[in-house]
Structure 1
């Protein structure tokens, strides 16, 4: 961790969304043939990764990622250095599932300690229902186990704050080159006015729902290979509301049953007292 530099920006919290997880596929002669030299007992190829939402670059705040794999795997602790525009990822093969420790190392300007996430490698279809498992089987056997996360930086140091917030919008369009003419190009009121307008930069605007580098925006809708969006969020919120209705109905039913039992118990006590 680098020594603290500058002052903290008080009362400010900045978050940056990212995705981490694993993608696995069984070996198949047609769709995923086993490469030469792979042990006979290895049944799957898989990838573990950390990347930006909608594949935006996150290397300006996340500089390296350490993946700690199962100890039976040669060189089981791997450090991946950030490359601009590329995800932090490693590719492996195997036959068993295990927990992967993912350690995040931030930019030195942050003066933040590394943080560790844990993710369970999944090689086989899974889900809450048999329908979800079957859908995964029909997807060419590809098993996607991804998680959405938001990295929160609380009151970051000034240099890191500048690093996080600069470039959140695309750069403004550069002014057009000046005329190669001599003094005549800058003389006269009309010429001065044109030169003044030419020196202005056009402010770029963000596309609605677009996700840009150094942005905390989330896509409005899903796209192929990008399952996290406001649309996904609304679907999950709907599921939670439906589940809440079911829970409330179950609680009401349970309450009625408890009240009925209490009433019956009271009646039995009264009958016993009379007898």
Structure 2
């Protein structure tokens, strides 16, 4: 961590959304053949990552990521340096599940201490809904992703300038005629690099959006209604039992 420069911007909080997690695939001769040299008892290939939501660049605030794997894995502590426009990823093979320690190192201008996250590598779709299991069965992938928001509380002035220097255009590609660059919209909603924007709708490979949020809110509201109904029913049953108990006591005292 670099020594602090400048003063903190008082009363200001800035957040940046990002995604971290793992994607695992069982070895299969047709869809995911086992590479030469992989131990016979390894059943899956998997990748752990940290990336911006909708794949936006986050290297302007995140400098490097350390992944600490199970100690049985050779070189089990890996440091991945940031590369502009690319996610922080690490790929391996194995047969067992374990907890991965993810340590985030911020850019020098932030003067902030590293933050640690913990994520459980999942190789099997247990604990999922039937719909999720069917999706994973068809895609041959076990996805365990988490949405997170990095909060910078009263950032130092140089870092504040970086965070608020303005949103950047979406990534471009050069695979167009005459080598001209063409902007590729990331999703409906116009998510830009260097912004805290969240996509309006889902698209393949990008499950976190305002649409997802709305669905989750709806599920929570429906669950709350069910809990209130069960609570009411339980309370009524308890009142009936208490009344019956009073009646029994009264009969005994007669």
Could you tell me the TM-score, scaled by structure 1's length? 0.84
Aligned to 2:175: none
Q: What is the RMSD of the two structures over their aligned residues, measured on CA atoms? A: 1.5
| Deviation of the 1:208 alpha carbon | 6.6
2:48/2:90 contact within 8 Å kept: yes
After the TM superposition, which parts of structure 1 deviate over 4 Å for at least 4 consecutive aligned residues?
none
Deviations along 1:83-129, one digit per CA (max 9) or x if unpaired, are 00010001100000100000000111111110100000011123343
Structure 2 matches for 1:1-275, cutoff 5 A? Answer: 1-139=1-139, 141-170=140-169, 209-274=189-254
Deviations along 1:118-170, one digit per CA (max 9) or x if unpaired, are 0000111233434432332222x211110000000011111110011113254
Task: Give the aligned length.
Answer: 238
1:125/1:134 contact within 8 Å kept: no
Q: Secondary structure at the match of 1:113?
A: coil
Aligned to 2:177: none
Q: Secondary structure at the match of 1:28?
A: coil
Could you say if the C-alpha distance between residues 208 and 8 of structure 1 is closer, same or farther in structure 2, counting changes exceeding 3 Å?
farther
Q: Which runs of 5+ in 2 are unaligned?
A: 171-186
Aligned to 2:178: none
Q: Distance in 1 between matches of 2:248 and 2:95?
A: 62
Could you tell me the TM-score, scaled by structure 2's length? 0.90
1:127/1:133 contact within 8 Å kept: no
